[in-house]
A and B are shown apart, each in its own frame.
Chain A
Amino acid sequence: AQSVTQLGSHVSVSEGALVLLRCNYSSSVPPYLFWYVQYPNQGLQLLLKYTTGATLVKGINGFEAEFKKSETSFHLTKPSAHMSDAAEYFCAVRGGGGNKLTFGTGTQLKVEL
């Protein structure tokens, strides 16, 4: 079985500051890992994904994440936050019958002036 833990349900940063959203996973098989962003009352949009290969993954809107097997982590970062980054972010791991995605509980990112 797979599981995902997102530390911090709410994160607040200043505009221009580093964004760090934490994600740890548990998987009995080599994981596929994902970060999604959700704006209010909308569906989820894929930010980036790790499947195989390079462990540092770059996504849209300047976000990136690094797969660290030894730490079972897949933290999401962005060097400089923008007001438009305010949204809810979900980490997910893929596995199980039907190739299900298991999501974390989400982190609400607030960007302040």
Chain B
Amino acid sequence: SQTIHQWPATLVQPVGSPLSLECTVEGTSNPNLYWYRQAAGRGLQLLFYSVGIGQISSEVPQNLSASRPQDRQFILSSKKLLLSDSGFYLCAWKMNTEAFFGQGTRLTVV
């Protein structure tokens, strides 16, 4: 069966520090992968999606970047975090018509 792993579950980082969130998928090959952010009181905003290794599409200009070094690995990064980067980050992958989500990472930038 297919599963999606996302870590860490929670993270507190100072302003200006780097960020790396990792997401891996098991049980499937060449998945479409997505990073979403959910800010307090707001819906889910698509940040990046990837249809293959090294292929990244950015949905909104921001302080973040994404990479896909392996088929089933999707990484969200930042060189210098801002306070506004705080939020709940969700990784997802798509199979057929629906998307499956990881458990999320709660990022607090202080």
Interface string of A41-67 (1 = CB under 8 A from B): 111111001010000000000000000
Contact among B49, B97, B99, B103 with A51 in the assembled complex (CB-CB below 8 Å):
B97
Q: Which B residues between 59 and 108 are near A, CB-CB below 8 angstroms?
A: 59, 88, 90, 92, 94, 97-104, 106
In the bound complex, residues from chain B placing their C-beta under 8 Å from that of A41 are 9, 88, 104, 106
Q: CA separation between A93 and B32, bound complex, in Å? A: 16
Size category, A interface: 20 to 34
Cβ A106 vs Cβ B43 within 8 A: yes
Q: CA separation between A95 and B8, bound complex, in Å? A: 30
In the bound complex, residues from chain A placing their C-beta under 8 Å from that of B49 are 98, 100
Q: A41-B106, A98-B51, A98-B57 are in contact. Are A103 and B101 (CB under 8 A)?
A: no
Cβ A90 vs Cβ B44 within 8 A: yes
Measured CB to CB, the closest approach of chain A to B77, in angstroms, equals: 20
Interface string of B11-37 (1 = CB under 8 A from A): 000000000000000000000101010
In the bound complex, residues from chain B placing their C-beta under 8 Å from that of A104 are 43
**Looking at chain B's contact residues, is the secondary structure mostly helix, strand, loop, or mixed?**
strand
In the bound complex, residues from chain A placing their C-beta under 8 Å from that of B88 are 41
Q: CA separation between A20 and B51, bound complex, in Å? A: 36
Cβ B104 vs Cβ A42 within 8 A: yes
In the bound complex, residues from chain B placing their C-beta under 8 Å from that of A49 are 97-98
Q: State the A residues within 8 Å of B (CB).
A: 6, 9, 32, 34, 36, 41-46, 49, 51, 90, 94, 97-106
Given contacts A98-B57, A100-B34, 19 further A-B contacts (CB under 8 A): A9-B41, A36-B101, A41-B9, A43-B6, A43-B90, A44-B44, A44-B90, A45-B101, A46-B98, A46-B100, A49-B97, A49-B98, A97-B57, A98-B51, A99-B94, A100-B46, A101-B46, A101-B92, A106-B43
